[in-house]
């Protein structure tokens, strides 16, 4: 196979992986606090001795779109949206994890938990317990959880030097080895959650463009294969 086919095939392989990302983005267009992803590409130069240089397409990383998702009003008193930077800190069996999904509830012990049952951490450490029968729950813009009996705790809101230090795990959670820092001026909104930042129309357009590019690369491979076949036939006829 000639270099032309190798180059087209390398592009097809990267486009196939990017198509998986686009499909996943579309599937999560309604997932709370989901952040869209796309592939980062680079040009790989193959420079052998006594042969022409060849440039191949290479995918090197998956990059998250860090733009804040659209606000969704739910009216639920335990739903909390982060307006700006920061992540909620939650405790899991695997250690601390971080999320922007503020769709919270309480467990049988009154602890504030996520949709997956992980306790939400308070500023300074510890979990947050909401006693029953103490009136409506209020969550202040600084994350202070209170009832008619007074303040209970403040929801921890953490930030990092770079959001790309966070690794996506399961259930919309992120893990990291970096040291978190408390957000100095948190801004939370009660009764709302952050929606996905995926724009389905944009993703569908990307998918169609990728499919057309994939088909074009396949035509290049088919044409190169046909040229080789004809060349071989000519050589055999002359032999």
pLDDT in tens, 169-184: 988 899 999 999 999 9
Burial label, 51 (beta-carbon count in 10 A; 0-12, 13-18, 19+): exposed
With b for 16 or more beta-carbon neighbours within 10 A and e for fewer, the 11-38 pattern comes to bbebbeebbebbeebeebbeebbbbbbb
pLDDT of residue 1: 46
Distance, CA of 148 to CA of 134 (rounded, Å)? 6
Task: Please compute the mean of the pLDDT values over residues 59-80 and round it to a whole number.
Answer: 91
Helix (H, G, I), strand (E, B) or coil at 143: coil
- Among residues 147, 89, 82, which one has the least CA distance to residue 123? 89
Three-state SS string over 115-126 comes to: CCCCEEEECCCC
What's this model's pTM, rounded to 2 decimal places?
Answer: 0.80
Distance, CA of 113 to CA of 117 (rounded, Å)? 5
Q: What is the pLDDT of residues 128-139, one digit of tens each?
A: 999 878 888 999
User: Is the four-CA dihedral 204, 207, 211, 216 of positive or negative sign?
Assistant: positive
Q: What is the pLDDT of residues 216-229, one digit of tens each?
A: 877 877 777 777 77
pLDDT of residue 47: 53
**Per-residue confidence at 194, pLDDT binned at 50, 70, 90?**
very high
């Amino acid at each position: 196979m000639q270099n032309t086919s190798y180059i087209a095939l390398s592009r097809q392989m990267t486009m196939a992986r990017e198509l998986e990302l686009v499909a996943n983005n579309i599937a999560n267009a309604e997932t709370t606090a989901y952040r869209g992803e796309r592939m980062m590409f680079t040009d790989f130069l193959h420079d052998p001795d006594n042969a022409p240089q060849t440039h191949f397409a290479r995918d090197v990383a998956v990059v998250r779109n860090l733009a804040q998702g659209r606000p969704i009003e739910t009216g639920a008193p335990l739903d909390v949206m982060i307006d700006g930077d920061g992540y909620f800190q939650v405790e899991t069996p695997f250690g601390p994890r971080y999320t922007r999904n503020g769709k919270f509830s309480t467990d049988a012990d009154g602890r504030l938990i996520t949709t997956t049952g992980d306790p939400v951490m308070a500023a300074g450490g510890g979990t947050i317990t909401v006693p029953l029968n103490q009136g409506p729950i209020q969550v202040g813009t600084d994350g202070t959880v209170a009832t008619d009996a007074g303040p209970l705790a403040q929801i921890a809101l953490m930030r990092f030097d770079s959001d790309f230090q966070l690794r996506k795990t399961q259930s919309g959670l992120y893990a990291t080895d970096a040291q978190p820092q408390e957000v100095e001026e948190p801004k939370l909104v009660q009764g709302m959650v952050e929606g996905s930042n995926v724009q389905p129309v944009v993703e569908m357009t990307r998918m169609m463009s990728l499919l057309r590019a994939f088909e074009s690369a396949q035509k290049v491979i088919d044409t190169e294969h046909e040229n080789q076949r004809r060349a071989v036939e000519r050589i055999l006829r002359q032999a």
